[in-house]
């Protein structure tokens, strides 16, 4: 039986405050730090085959919150008067199932305990950063190790019968009925 993909719920501002690169970006422009976090998580999601949901706290911002996808990562801005922690707890309850694991990435100790109590596994900001860095190293090794794909510029352009004749020629068997045929 196929298993549904695992889910990683990330406390976005917690990561931004804990990761040195994102902290530097936040000092000049918060939006750049958020975008870089989403870039890193999108790559991680694609490589690990997990679904990533990033929660940003909009506790003091009036409105119903916002949800959208960026690079296939689900981004959630909390509702008015809802903290990121409350939103994460709600999401853990929504996505928890016996067929998948749910991970919560935050360095907030209280939130880690609450998420764990609801059935989620926990990751600190540092642990997630290390996992992302390891994924990047693995991707780099794979890219360096794999030879470039062979290209056939005629593939898909010529018919099968012509491709068969050309393949015979390439193997030195010559054209059907021509020199080298029947040898």
pLDDT in tens, 110-139: 787 787 777 788 899 999 999 999 999 988
* Span 138-165, pLDDT tens digits: 888 877 776 666 666 666 678 788 888 8
Give me the pLDDT at residue 1, please: 34
Flag whether 121 is in a domain. Answer: yes
Tell me the C-alpha distance between 114 and 132, whole Å: 24
**Is residue 156 in some structural domain?**
no
Average pLDDT over residues 15-19: 96
Tell me the pLDDT band of 70, cut-offs 50, 70 and 90: confident
Report how many domains make up the chain: 1
With a pLDDT cut of 90, the percent of the chain lying above it is 38
In a domain, 35, yes or no: yes
In a domain, 180, yes or no: no
pLDDT at 177: 59
pLDDT value at 22 more than 60: yes
**Is there a domain that residue 43 lies in?**
yes
Q: Please report, for the domain that includes residue 14, its CATH number.
A: 3.40.50
Domain that includes residue 26, residue range = 7-145
In the prediction, which pLDDT does 59 show?
Answer: 58
Q: What is the pLDDT of residue 130?
A: 95
Q: Is residue 183 domain-resident?
A: no
């Amino acid at each position: 039986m196929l298993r549904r993909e695992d889910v990683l719920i990330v406390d976005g501002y917690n990561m931004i405050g804990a990761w040195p690169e994102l902290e530097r970006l936040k000092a000049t422009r918060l939006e750049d730090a958020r975008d870089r976090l989403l870039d890193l998580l999108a790559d991680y999601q694609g490589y690990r085959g997990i679904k990533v949901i990033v929660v940003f706290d909009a506790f003091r911002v009036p409105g119903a919150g916002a949800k959208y996808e960026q690079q296939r990562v689900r981004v959630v801005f909390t509702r008015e008067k809802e903290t990121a922690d409350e939103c994460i707890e709600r999401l853990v309850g929504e996505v928890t199932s016996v067929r998948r694991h749910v991970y919560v990435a935050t360095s907030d100790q209280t939130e880690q305990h609450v998420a764990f109590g609801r059935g989620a596994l926990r990751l600190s900001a540092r642990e997630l950063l290390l996992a992302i860095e390891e994924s990047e190293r693995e991707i780099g090794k794979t890219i360096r190790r794999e030879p470039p794909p062979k290209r056939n510029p005629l593939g898909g352009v010529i018919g099968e019968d012509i491709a068969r004749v050309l393949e015979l020629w390439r193997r030195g068997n010559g054209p059907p009925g021509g020199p080298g045929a029947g040898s």
